[in-house]
Structure 1
Amino acid sequence: MSTVKPAIRTVIVERQVPHPPEKIWRALTQPHLIEEWLMQTDFQLVKGQKFTLRNQPRPDVSVVIEAEVLAIEPHRTLSYSWRAFGLDSTVTFTLEPTPTGTIIRMEQTGFGPDQDLAFKGSRAAWTQYLAALDRFIATID
């Protein structure tokens, strides 16, 4: 008798920006730049490196994400684990050059059927984070 596994869901947010992949890559991989659009971090661009992302959106709320770099393809793909609030997921950024800039694709996969609130929250948060990334990239050289 076979059992059907519950479907794992994925949040996908794409955004086309008028910036080259190299500039976006810097904002995705340099800790002081990551902090400008995402969260405080001790990120290092080394496969297997563990790091944290921290945020305090309100005085009574503290967010800590435990993560580990899973894959690196410079100026193209960055993937890391994302563990917080009972969610064990993977975040992958893909950069695709276009004639006028880059398509940034963020995928966060690993949401179980019982994690609807986390799924919806992640979709809203990543939409905001990528908008912040786009605004921030426009300010750097």
Structure 2
Amino acid sequence: MTTATGETLTTVDGRTALRMERRLAHPPPMVWRALTEPGRLTQWFPSDVEMEPRAGGKVRFPFRHGEGEATEGEVAEWNPPHVLAYTWDDDVLRWELEPESLGTVLVLTHTFADRPGAASFAAGWDACISRVDPVLAGGPVPARGDMKAAHERYVKEFGLDRGAAEELPVGWKVRFERQLTQPAATVWRTLLGGVSAPEVGGPVPRGFVAGEFAAGPVSELRPQEVLAYPWDLHGRHQGTVRWELTRGTGQGARLVLTQTGLPEVPASLALDVWRDRVESLAAKSAAMPR
């Protein structure tokens, strides 16, 4: 039985490193077979894998059922049955196997550039690795199931629900980049809240507004992608709020929300207000069936 023993998220040379440690019930030589043999890989890995078994060998990842385009990589380390590392497009996957009395301690380090996608990666690898022991036991392999709850848990654990603030020549800018668990069309409908489609120059639907930041008319609009508007406080223009939904990791949209403001309103207030609003939206999305 697979046992989770911890995960961490760090920054290495400007890139993000996700480290996940799991205890497996099978010895390293058997786990190595699950990592390298195509017939076993296809039962738990997120794509098919075609690998030349040597350092410097080519790796190809053809996705099944048209789920994505085939990508390539290269074997960086090949030390059976202890260490296997290879690139996957721009990412690096390093698998370490250490024997212990009850089986194997498996350590996966996934290094990548897209830090806001870390929760998606962690939830996905958690589901994948949990299938390795059943694959090796020759029994039924559990379906991956719904990973939304795990995704949201990792968002909190890794602090990916926090925005960032920067000073501008006059005032400030806050920014949230949040991976969601529903596609952009579903998130957009949720933000509209049942009201008619907005138009440039028209009122902003309530779902796009937070706190006491009064919304001016819609200034930029691309349905299911972008909505922006000026905002004011106590009748004075302060800055701009902009919502953008792009393609994210996994099956959900990536939300990028920015707000600019003047010094009379502290950026910390905007961070608190928008964090509550974004997390409310994320929780509602996670509770929806796909």
TM-score, scaled relative to structure 1: 0.79
AA partner of residue 41 (structure 2): I
The 5-angstrom pairing of residues 60-139 of structure 1 reads: 61-83=67-89, 88-111=90-113, 115-139=114-138
Bigger CA radius of gyration: 2
SS in 2 for 1:120: helix
Partner Cα separation in structure 2 for residue 63 and residue 13 of structure 1: 26
Return the match for 1:42 from 50, 69, 78: 50
Q: 2:28: which partner in 1?
A: 21
Greater relative CO, 1 or 2 (CA 8 Å, sep 6+): 1
Partner Cα separation in structure 1 for residue 130 and residue 70 of structure 2: 21
In terms of fraction of residues, the more strand-rich structure is 1
Q: Runs of 5+ in structure 2 lacking a partner?
A: 1-11, 140-290
SS in 2 for 1:122: helix
Partner Cα separation in structure 2 for residue 63 and residue 133 of structure 1: 25
SS in 1 for 2:70: strand
1:54, CA displacement in angstroms? 2.4
Report the CA distance shift for 1:35/1:98 in structure 2 as closer, same or farther (over 3 A).
Answer: same
SS in 2 for 1:62: coil
> Percent same amino acid among aligned pairs?
25
TM-score, scaled relative to structure 2: 0.41
AA partner of residue 54 (structure 2): V
SS in 2 for 1:19: coil
Number of residue equivalences:
127
AA partner of residue 99 (structure 1): S
SS in 1 for 2:74: strand
Q: Contact 1:48/1:69 (CA < 8 Å) preserved in 2?
A: yes
SS in 1 for 2:138: coil
Residues 78-103 of structure 1: CA distance to partner in whole angstroms, max 9, x if unpaired?
000111xxxx1210000010011101
SS in 2 for 1:40: coil
Partner Cα separation in structure 2 for residue 18 and residue 9 of structure 1: 29
AA partner of residue 84 (structure 2): L
Partner Cα separation in structure 1 for residue 76 and residue 42 of structure 2: 20
SS in 1 for 2:123: helix
AA partner of residue 12 (structure 1): R
Q: 2:17: which partner in 1?
A: 10
1:6, CA displacement in angstroms? 7.0
1:44, CA displacement in angstroms? 2.2
Q: Contact 2:86/2:93 (CA < 8 Å) preserved in 1?
A: yes
1:62, CA displacement in angstroms? 1.6
1:63, CA displacement in angstroms? 4.5
